[in-house]
């Protein structure tokens, strides 16, 4: 009898000890939640270190933000940014949502995903206990348009894409979803056949007629993706623009996270004749964003520094040249294309200071 009791006590002690270890391990492996410093207006700021997601190594987003982190460390001594490489916009947002980052790299299209629980967030919405990223700072655009083979007289506008095979790159990404939304608004999405092939196969597929058209993308109007450069070199192409009726329909749709523009062909293809002087582009915006976890005064100083030192930002990567031309305009266009998303209070303070704030915009909670 005594042996049984002893065995019971030993088993109970081991069980309690195991549970205690599990609880301690669970607490230790939770992402650290920082308590942001309390900031009183006019008070000297404490030194704040932020882990901020960038994009993949070798990309424009990666190069820009590592350069930006250096600019901030030199000009805003109370703020240190540790630029953290991530797999891209969605991956960076996911890490921010888990508390692994203090700020994220994100395309505006994906910010709209967060707020509308669509796309990657349809089945796995943003955690209710984590701050959502606000409009904070934008630095470049991703711009899509349509091309076909130069001798395709049967394709003169988007209207002629009905019944045709069209290559749109990277399903699920913004450079797929943005032109898809534009094609839907133009009334042709259900009448085209979307083809998915490797980048390297696009020039030969277009030349042979395996595909009838393609949707290339460039960054900030003038920096083609590598596969687009190859396409322009290996195939004789022409740009295909929508009809005015289709343009009107796209603008009327007011697609959140997307804007439209006419861009000079010389800006995109300076040494190639693509059959038109202007290209109709559908675009979204990319930048670096955070939420109420970072006090407004730090973001105010960061945004002020990056806008007022736009020339230095432009030296971080060629795609930031468009930003340098008018950095305020880029912020305004991005916010205007998704005005339901709150603006970070620090960004809002600076935009008000510059006299460009709009009453219809929203300021995020502190």
pLDDT, one tens digit per residue, over 274-291 is: 999 999 999 999 999 999
Residue 262, strand partner residues = 280
In this predicted structure, what is the pLDDT of residue 41? 55
In this predicted structure, what is the pLDDT of residue 36? 57
Is 17 within 8 Å of 67 (Cβ atoms)? no
The answer, yes or no, to whether residue 348 has pLDDT greater than 50, is: yes
- The alpha carbon of 79 is separated from its chain's Cα centroid by a whole number of angstroms, namely 23
In this predicted structure, what is the pLDDT of residue 206? 97
In this predicted structure, what is the pLDDT of residue 32? 47
The answer, yes or no, to whether residue 343 has pLDDT greater than 50, is: yes
Mean pLDDT, residues 139-150: 98
Is 289 within 8 Å of 310 (Cβ atoms)? no
Given the structure tokens 């190594």, which residue do they identify?
Answer: 57
Q: Lowest mean pLDDT: which of 39-48, 315-324, 339-348?
A: 39-48
Taking each continuous run of H as one helix and of E as one strand, the counts in the chain are 14, 13
In this predicted structure, what is the pLDDT of residue 42? 57
Name the pLDDT band for 26 (thresholds 50, 70, 90): very low
Q: Could you please report the per-residue DSSP string of 33-64?
A: ---PPP--TTSPPPPEEEEEE---TTSHHHHH
Of 61, 87, 58, residue with least CA distance to 313: 61
Name the pLDDT band for 43 (thresholds 50, 70, 90): low
d(CA 135, CA 348): 9
In this predicted structure, what is the pLDDT of residue 239? 98
Mean pLDDT, residues 69-87: 96
| Average pLDDT of the chain, as a whole number | 91
In this predicted structure, what is the pLDDT of residue 294? 98
What angle do helix axes 345-353 and 296-308 make, rounded to 10 degrees?
A: 50
Mean pLDDT, residues 142-171: 98
d(CA 217, CA 226): 10
Percent of the chain with pLDDT over 70: 88
The answer, yes or no, to whether residue 62 has pLDDT greater than 70, is: yes
Mean pLDDT, residues 7-14: 46
Domains of the chain: 48-136+290-353 (3.40.190.10), 142-284 (3.40.190.10)
């Amino acid at each position: 009898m005594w042996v049984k009791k002893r065995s019971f006590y030993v088993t109970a002690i081991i069980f309690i000890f195991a549970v205690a270890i599990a609880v301690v391990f669970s607490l230790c492996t939770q992402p650290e939640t920082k308590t942001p410093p309390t900031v009183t207006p006019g008070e000297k700021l404490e030194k704040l270190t932020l882990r901020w997601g960038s994009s993949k190594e070798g990309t424009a987003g990666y190069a820009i933000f590592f350069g930006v982190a250096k600019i901030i460390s030199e000009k805003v001594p109370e703020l240190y940014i540790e630029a953290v490489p991530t797999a891209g916009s969605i991956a960076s947002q996911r890490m921010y949502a888990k508390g692994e980052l203090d700020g994220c790299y994100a395309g505006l299209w994906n910010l709209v995903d967060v707020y509308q629980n669509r796309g990657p967030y349809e089945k796995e919405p943003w955690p209710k206990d984590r701050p959502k990223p606000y409009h904070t700072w934008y630095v470049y655009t991703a711009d899509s348009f349509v091309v076909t083979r130069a001798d395709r007289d049967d394709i003169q506008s988007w209207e002629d894409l009905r019944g045709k095979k069209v290559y749109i790159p990277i399903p699920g990404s913004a450079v797929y979803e943005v032109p898809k939304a534009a094609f839907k608004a133009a009334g042709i999405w259900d009448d085209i056949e979307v083809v998915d092939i490797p980048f390297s196969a696009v020039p030969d597929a277009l030349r042979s007629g395996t595909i009838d058209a393609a949707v290339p993308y460039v960054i900030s109007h003038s920096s083609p993706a590598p596969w687009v450069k190859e396409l322009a070199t290996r195939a004789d192409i022409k740009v295909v623009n929508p009809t005015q009726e289709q343009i009107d329909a796209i603008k009327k749709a007011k697609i959140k996270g997307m804007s439209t523009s006419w861009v000079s062909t010389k800006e995109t293809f300076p040494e190639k004749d693509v059959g038109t002087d202007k290209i109709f582009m559908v675009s979204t915006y990319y930048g670096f964003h955070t939420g109420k976890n970072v006090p407004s005064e730090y973001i105010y100083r960061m945004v002020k520094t990056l806008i007022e030192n736009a020339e230095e930002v432009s030296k971080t990567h060629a795609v930031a040249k468009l930003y340098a031309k008018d950095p305020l305009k880029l912020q305004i266009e991005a916010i205007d294309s998704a005005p339901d998303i709150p603006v970070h209070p620090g960004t809002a303070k600076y935009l008000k200071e510059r006299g460009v704030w709009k009453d219809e915009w929203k300021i995020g909670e502190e």
